[in-house]
Amino acid sequence: MYQRLVIKVGTNVLTRADGRLDITSISNLVDQIADLKQRGVELVLVSSGAVGAGKELLPGRANDEAVAQRQVYSAIGQVRLMELYRNLFAGHRLLCAQVLATKGDFRDDLHYDNMLNCFRALLQDEIVPVVNENDVVAVTELMFTDNDELAGLVARMVSADALVILSSVEGLYDGPPDRHESRLIPRVAAHDTGVDGVVQARRTSGGRGGMATKLRIARETATGGIPVLIGNGRRPNILSHLSTNDWPGTVVAATDNSAAAD
């Protein structure tokens, strides 16, 4: 069983087809995280969904992909999202905390150290950090590719035992996931480039990234010695598979860096 995890959950796990927050799906996710916490697992949750929550509160706006409008959606949506997480975690007698970051926080040594110290203190107090990109101030060069990139950076920052990326598909496929002949790729080595030609680059409807981005981030993270498990966040009790050896998605195996460290 992993002792410290970073779990990233994508927009399409947290929202319904109409773009509104899926309370049932979010509640199920929190239940699974609470079970992991009950088993003594330290855990950081990287959560998308703020912009979607904002669109739910401010529907029908024109030019809703403009940077300024996304900032507005994020600003009001983050409050809604954290309110929901706070209430759901409280049902398990758990506290959660909001952590907002930009790419600049990982480039500046002082910001990096301050954020790491914050994570350590929150985990020490058994509080669940809920991390998201600070869309209100993150523009152009300060923006992450998507929250997969943010999750990979956080996993390396806190020296996680594994990074779990939950999306609306089962994992990496050797073709378009909606084709009958496509097959799930259960395991990929960090340096294996053989799947590059078949993994789809297109993004899902609600998020900024795609499976090709997930594979790139997973490789970077696994090369740093942290395995990455990609799976379907809507599969019932998917996180329970973390305590077994039968992950139902794709595992990007970590590179063994112990020899280099000796």
Instruction: Specify binding-site residues for substrate.
Output: 48, 135, 147
- Region of residue 60 (phi > 0: left; psi between -120 and 50: alpha; otherwise: beta): left
- Cα 20 to Cα 14: distance, rounded to the nearest angstrom: 9
| Chain CA centroid to CA 221, Å | 13
- CA-closest candidate to residue 198, choices 217, 207, 185, 180: 185
Amino acid (one-letter) located at 34: A
> CB of 95 within 8 A of CB of 85?
no
Sheet containing 187-189: order of strands: 96-101, 128-133, 42-47, 4-9, 162-167, 228-232, 250-253, 187-189
> CB of 39 within 8 A of CB of 65?
no
- Cα 25 to Cα 31: distance, rounded to the nearest angstrom: 10
- Cα 146 to Cα 213: distance, rounded to the nearest angstrom: 8
- Six-digit token pair at 61? 């706006």
> CB of 37 within 8 A of CB of 4?
no
* DSSP 3-state of 126: coil
> CB of 149 within 8 A of CB of 214?
no
- Six-digit token pair at 125? 């107090």
The binding site consists of 8, 48, 135, 147
The binding site for ATP consists of 8
* 181: DSSP letter: T
